[in-house]
Structure 1
Amino acid sequence: MKERCWSCSAYGFSNERCLETRSRGITFHKSNVKSILRRQWELAVKREGFVAAERSVLCSEHFNTDDFDRTGQIIRLRRGVKPSVFNLPCYLQKVCV
């Protein structure tokens, strides 16, 4: 069975789910499409007109270390976590320095 090809939805990111990213410890996570948090995820990615679809994911590089539950074999995001780590160009940030 062929593995689904996912790539990070964040602005300027091209991380794809593959052996290379897996070996670097990068995981991929999606917001529940029916969740209230979904809209907060959509706004966080700073892509004009972006609407999260069933296959929309963000890589683990957009979350803080404490945002993950690593107690089981599968790394999961803790309940209610929003992506907060982005390296956006100045014009997409609220305050330009």
Structure 2
Amino acid sequence: MTFQEMIQSEKPVLVDFFATWCGPCKMMAPILDEVKKKVGDNAHIIKIDVDKNPQAAQVYQVSGVPTLILFKQGKVLWRQSGVVPARELERLLQSNA
């Protein structure tokens, strides 16, 4: 499944735009793992390295990392930069599932 196909789906898709050199991005990794365990198959969580995919970062105007964007049926429902607590992400994904 391509990125475009995935964000068009009925399931919410949380995209983490990150960089390997970014400290706060490293803090997000275990948070996203925890959220994935809680929401299971109700949502997709994917990571996009902005250095390897500058085009995707440009399309969604990601200027700082980490930036989290929630998509559903191709629409951006929410976006936030910086480290976001697991509880907030869980609530967000469950309310949009």
Q: TM-score, normalised by structure 1?
A: 0.33
Highest CA radius of gyration, 1 or 2? 1
Higher relative contact order (CA 8 A, sep 6+): 2
More strand by share: 2
More helix by share: 2
